[in-house]
């Protein structure tokens, strides 16, 4: 059973000085402004999620399908994204990637997922964000926030990464990949705290990376002070990509999501 509060208190500010000159931390209350608790059955809620379709990026082997229960469904209170070894169109593998583009975008807030990642060489699950202006300005100019990436070849680690183009148009990225044990053994919370000044990355209660938004400033603009949308997907790897070589003996791989929540 899922129990949560619609208002949370988060410490997100720098130290301030009180009347006596002692440092204190300012607390800011945030409200739950959007969520999917997956307390239903069938396809993902179409008012919240759309689909990426086909071979979308990195020359990955999977074909992302649309509204196909075999690859993306809600059952037993969980979203299940399943990558399958099967012939589909011209592909040998299928999977799903769902997104909020065209449904909902945000600037700043706490974005979190409670999920259980799959295990196996070549699996590549993610919870991430892209700039809403991606079609107009292309990647990496639109910006990318990888709240969580898990790849089977690095099975004791998770990745949190920022991607963008600097003022000269040069691709830049910053991130960390903490060793956390065996994240595929259980559900964990993957989250960011995003303000106008920085983005902090969390694995459960562990804050393992902070990105200073001054680094992504371009004149009077900043890539990460604009609207972004959410994505959940299960990709498969290939040589030369972060996902790495795929174990071709894997017939099916499942990525389980308990909830997605956005607080502002």
Q: One digit per residue, pLDDT tens: the chain, 264 residues?
A: 444 444 444 444 444 445 455 544 455 689 999 999 999 999 999 999 999 999 999 999 999 999 999 999 999 999 999 999 999 999 999 999 999 999 999 999 999 999 999 999 999 999 999 999 999 999 999 999 999 999 999 999 999 999 999 999 999 999 999 999 999 999 999 999 999 999 999 999 999 999 999 999 998 999 999 999 999 999 999 989 999 999 999 999 999 999 999 999
- For the question of residue 149 being annotated catalytic, the response is yes
- pTM greater than 0.85: yes
- For the question of residue 205 being annotated catalytic, the response is no
β pairing state of 171-176 and 221-222: unpaired
User: Cβ atoms within 10 A of the Cβ of 50, count?
Assistant: 17
Contact at 8 Å (CB) between 95 and 82? yes
The full set of domains in the chain, from first to last, is 32-263 (2.60.120.200)
| 60, 82, 144, 193: the active-site residue | 144
| 60, 82, 149, 193: the active-site residue | 149
CA angle 126, 88, 64 (to 5 degrees): 25
Q: Which residues pair with 176 in a beta bridge?
A: 160
Contact at 8 Å (CB) between 196 and 95? no
Euclidean distance between the first and the last CA atom of the chain, given in angstroms as a whole number: 24
């Amino acid at each position: 059973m899922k129990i949560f509060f619609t208002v949370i208190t988060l410490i997100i500010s720098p130290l301030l000085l009180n009347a006596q000159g002692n440092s204190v931390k300012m607390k800011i209350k945030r409200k739950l402004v959007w969520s999917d608790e997956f307390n239903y059955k069938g396809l993902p809620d179409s008012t919240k999620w759309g689909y990426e379709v086909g071979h979308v990026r990195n020359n990955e082997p999977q074909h992302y399908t649309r509204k196909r229960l075999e690859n993306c469904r809600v059952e037993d209170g969980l979203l299940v994204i399943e990558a399958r070894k099967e012939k589909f169109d011209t592909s040998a593998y299928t999977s799903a990637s769902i997104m909020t583009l065209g449904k909902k975008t945000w600037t700043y807030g706490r974005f979190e997922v409670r999920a259980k990642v799959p295990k196996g060489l070549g699996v590549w699950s993610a919870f991430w964000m892209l700039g809403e202006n991606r079609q107009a300005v292309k990647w990496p100019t639109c910006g990318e926030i990888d709240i969580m990436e898990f790849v089977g070849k690095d099975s004791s680690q998770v990745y949190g990464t920022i991607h963008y183009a600097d003022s000269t148009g040069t691709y830049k990225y910053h991130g960390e990949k903490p060793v956390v044990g065996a994240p595929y053994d259980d559900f964990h919370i993957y989250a960011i705290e995003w303000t106008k000044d920085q983005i902090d990355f969390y694995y459960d209660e562990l804050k393992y990376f902070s990105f200073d938004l001054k680094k992504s400033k371009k004149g009077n603009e900043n890539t990460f002070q604009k609207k972004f949308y959410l994505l959940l997907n299960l990709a498969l790897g290939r040589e030369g990509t972060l996902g790495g070589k795929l174990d071709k003996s894997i017939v099916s791989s499942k990525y389980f999501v308990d909830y997605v929540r956005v607080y502002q």
